[in-house]
Amino acid sequence: MHGTRILQEADRLMTVCNSCRYCEGLCAVFPAMEMRRAFSDGDLNYLANLCHACGACYTDCQFSPPHEFNVNVPKTLAIARAESYAAYAWPRALAGAFARNGLVISLIAALSVATFIFGFAAANDPGVLYGIHTGPGAFYQLMPHNAMALLFGLAFLYAILALAMGVRAFWRDIGEPVGMTTDRKALLQAIRDAGELRYLDGGGVGCFNEDDRPTDRRKLYHHFTFYGFALCFAATCVGTLYHYLLAREAPYAWWDLPVVLGTLGGLGLVVGPIGLLSQKWKRDRVLVDEQRMGMDTAFIMMLLLTSITGLALLLWRETGAMGPLLALHLGVVFALFITMPYGKFVHGIYRFVALVRYARERRMMEHS
């Protein structure tokens, strides 16, 4: 017996799949399944987080609906995955944030933006908010750098703490696999697998989205999104180092490293999320955890807003719109940080841990 109805269903499906195994070449889920004969809650949550939702096993399955065996692995594991995010949420009291996630994230984002605009307006006279500021330290006319760094540093640290606690809960749930944390090769393998989205390709055929043809472009859009995000994050880090190590203050020239990284990242973070949203729109509902479409959409929208407001700030930073745009951008980024542990962002963290475990299990098998 399992803790939830969806894990009960996941167990039923893994029992069917383990007696078939035709899909073992498609991804990591099925080989991981084959290493087991029975499935604990933790095993099923591990498999659910290992699944990249490529859809190939559904299209290839001779037992998918309307067959009486009613095998729909992508949808079942998607629901199990989402339920696991809530189960691992820290503090527990905030697990409910996953329930109506789209609404929760939108409210927090709106509140955060409003607070920054209101805060800027209250802290400075209106002339400052709508004034034209140029040269080093222009942004800090509106908010002192140290205050900005402290506020965002705290928000970021909180996100890291909450995510780490979530990973700890996941780790315990999957039975704290021995040797996983010290296996450097498994870690490197997982970094490679995550970095190239190795398992989002239907075993080489391609992924499925709107129908039974492998025409899905999510992998490409995800790369734009992920690497765009990474470049933006790098831009922020470089800017911080410039400030504290070299005493060079923002805004930087268009050719300077933080701006180059931020612009490239920002563009990736526009193309990627728009692509992902369009794919999500078209996706065959039979593969989707429909109840939680809002969670995915909210996170993608947050990323898109981050990049659009950041690029707008870059374009109009020498005009009177800079003040409101800065407030908007900072509000969105702040909301992104504090909602990270309570939304779709966590999928990457748990999936990465699952990939490390899988790499470790594979290595153990090959040495046994």
Partner 1 sequence: MTRRFDVLVIGGGNAALCAAISARRAGASVLVLEGAPKFYRGGNTRHTRNMRCAHDAATEILTGPYTEEEFWKDLLLVTGGQTDEELARFMIHESKDILNWIVEQGVRWQPSLGGTLSLGRTNSFFLGGGRAMLNALYRTAEQLGVDILYNAEVTDLRIEDGMFLSAQLKQPVNGKTEVRASTLVAAAGGFEANIEWLKEHWGEAADNFLIRGTPYNRGSILKMLLARGVQEIGDPTQCHAVAIDARAPKFDGGIITRHDSVVFGIVVNKHAQRFYDEGEDIWPKRYAIWGRLVAAQPEQIAYIIFDSTVVTSFMPTLFPPIAGQTVAELAGKLELDPAALEKTITEFNAAVQPGTFDHTILDDCRTEGITPPKTHWARKIETPPYLAYPVRPGITFTYLGTRVNKQARMLMKGGKPSANMFAAGEIMAGNVLGKGYAAGIGMTIGSVFGRVAGREAAKNARN
Minimal distance in Å, beta carbon 211 to partner 1?
11
Yes or no: say if 24 and 30 are a contact pair by the CB < 8 Å rule. Answer: yes
- Site for partner 1 contains 57 (CB under 8 A): yes
Residue closer to partner 1 (CB basis): 267 or 364? 364
Q: Quick check: 16 binds partner 1 (CB under 8 A)?
A: yes
Q: Residue 344 corresponds to which tokens in the numbers above?
A: 């779709």
C-beta of 59 vs 339, nearer to partner 1:
59
Q: Which of 3, 5, 8, 22 binds partner 1 (CB under 8 A)?
A: 22
Give the whole-angstrom CA distance, residue 292 versus residue 90.
Answer: 19
Q: How far apart are CA 185 and CA 106, in angstroms?
A: 40
Binding string, residues 205-234; x marks residues near partner 1 by CB under 8 A: x------xx---------------------
- Integer-rounded Cα Rg, in Å, for the chain is 22
Question: In whole angstroms, how close is the CB of 22 to partner 1 at the nearest point?
Answer: 3
**Tokens standing for residue 20:** 């078939």
- Exposure class string for 222-253: b at 16+ Cβ within 10 A, else e: bbbbbbbbebbebbbebbbebbeeeeebbbbe
Measured distance CA(2)–CA(7) in Å, rounded: 6
| Least CB distance to partner 1 at residue 17 (A) | 9
Q: Is 34 in the site for partner 1 (CB under 8 A)?
A: yes
Q: Tell me the CA distances in angstroms from 289 to 195, 284, 342, 349, 357, one per residue in order.
A: 25, 11, 17, 19, 25
Among 2, 4, 18, 274, binds partner 1 (CB under 8 A): 18
Each residue 306-345 as x (binds partner 1 by CB under 8 A) or -, in order, gives: ----------------------------------------
Instruction: Single out the segment in contact with partner 1 by CB under 8 A; choices: 31-39, 44-52, 135-143, 335-343.
Output: 31-39
CA-to-CA distance for 196 and 306, rounded, in angstroms? Answer: 24
| Contact flag: residue 257 with partner 1 (CB under 8 A) | no
Q: How far is the CB of 63 from partner 1 (least distance, A)?
A: 7
364 binds partner 1 per the rule CB under 8 A: no
Q: Which stretch binds partner 1 (CB under 8 A): 63-71, 119-127, 133-141, 146-154?
A: 63-71
CB 57 within 8 A of CB 26: yes
Q: How far is the CB of 203 from partner 1 (least distance, A)?
A: 5
Identified binder of partner 1 from the candidate list 26, 77, 138, 322, rule CB under 8 A: 26
Structure tokens at 127: 């002339």
CA distance from start to end of the chain: 31
Q: Which listed residue (56, 86, 261, 336) binds partner 1 by CB under 8 A? A: 56
- 149 is a contact residue toward partner 1 (CB under 8 A): no
Q: At what angle do helices 293-315 and 322-339 cross, to 10 degrees?
A: 150
* 112: region left, alpha or beta (phi > 0 left; psi from -120 to 50 alpha): alpha
**Shortest Cβ 21–partner 1 spacing (Å):** 8
Cα 259 from Cα 49, distance rounded (Å): 35
Could you tell me the smallest distance in angstroms from the CB atom of residue 275 to partner 1? 23
Residues near partner 1 (CB under 8 A) are 15-16, 18-26, 31, 34, 37, 56-57, 59-64, 66-68, 202-205, 212-213, 362, 365-366
